[in-house]
Amino acid sequence: MGLNRIAERFKALGCDAEITEGGVNLDIEGKDIFIQFESEWLSAVNAFYRARQYHFDEERRSLFSNRAAEYLIVRPDPGFFHRVQHEFKDGQGNRASISPTSKEFLARKAAIPLALARLRS
């Protein structure tokens, strides 16, 4: 995933970029350049992009990331003002919490900041 993003950026800057094993071949104004990356650097870049991935399902109003899922839940009595927060844990360390929405959820078109059920592993 990381090399794809790097190659896309080079292409956006006007270079011809092709991904090869462990690197990127560039053609910049007729000059061939090969950029090779160390495996530690590649794993750090891949972890960065994986940590920043979100998917928002508008129909279900759900937000998914690599380590969490958020679902919109609504109180039976919308006149109840107090914002309740609960957290539940299992024996394996997984957590489920009911709390106000996260800023990531609000940024992904959730119009009303109601409570969410958040599942984390």
Pairing state of beta strands 16-20 and 62-65? unpaired
108 shares its domain with 72: yes
- pLDDT, one tens digit per residue, over 69-88 is 888 877 666 666 666 788 88
Q: Is residue 105 scored above 50 in pLDDT?
A: yes
Lowest mean pLDDT: which of 4-13, 30-39, 78-87, 89-98?
Answer: 78-87
Give the model's pLDDT for residue 63: 84
- pLDDT, one tens digit per residue, over 22-49 is 788 888 888 888 888 888 888 887 777 7
28 shares its domain with 68: no
State which residues form the domain around 73: 54-120
75 shares its domain with 112: yes
96 shares its domain with 59: yes
63 shares its domain with 116: yes
Overall number of domains in the chain: 2
Distance between terminal CA atoms of the chain? Answer: 23
Give the model's pLDDT for residue 116: 44
